[in-house]
Amino acid sequence: MWEADLESYYHLLGVDQSATVAALKNAYRREAMKWHPDRNGNEDDTHERFVQIAEAYRVLTDPEKRRQYDTQHLHTGGKYGTPTNKREYQKDSFDRRENDRKQADILFWEVMLEHALGLKNSGVSPAKICKDLINSGCSKSVALAIAKRVNLPITELQKIYD
């Protein structure tokens, strides 16, 4: 279990405050895959951490939001836009949590799709791209959807899953 109030957005992503957008993207991808509820079971702590990671990425990759976060974070001791403890988070409605999860899933999808396209454009073989998606924690349905979107042979993925 973890305490949101002890961790800054930078700490959630495992980067320092001078991290570039590219470093943030790599860190987000690593942490989102590590904490994705499909990979860890749909427990509250996993869901909560996944949503926090997505929010950290959204804020830190937007220059204006990042500036505001950095300014406010210095003055409030880390209480920017997120619940300060688990009890406060649990007070949120089910609808809000579902919306947060959907937004986090969309962000995960976008980052993984961009990653797959980057690999494809770099000349990485379809088999290696498919293996990377799976090793990155994508569920079969997400990996297949991404493969279709970037025009990878679906048979490559099916061979890996079978």
Nearest residue to 47 via CA among 37, 33, 38: 37
Count the domains in the chain.
Answer: 1
CATH of the domain at 22: 1.10.287.110
Print the domain residue range for 45: 4-91
pTM, full prediction: 0.61
Distance CA 13, CA 58 (A): 11
CB 98 within 8 A of CB 92: no
DSSP, collapsed to helix, strand or coil, labels residue 83 as coil
Q: How far is CA 81 from CA 5, 23, 76, 128, 136, in A?
A: 11, 22, 11, 39, 28
Q: Give per-residue pLDDT as tens, 29-68.
A: 889 888 887 777 667 678 888 888 998 999 999 999 998 8
Q: Which residue would you say has higher pLDDT here, 111 or 161? A: 111
Q: Calculate mean pLDDT across residues 65-94.
A: 60
Query: What are 88's two structure tokens?
Result: 């406060």
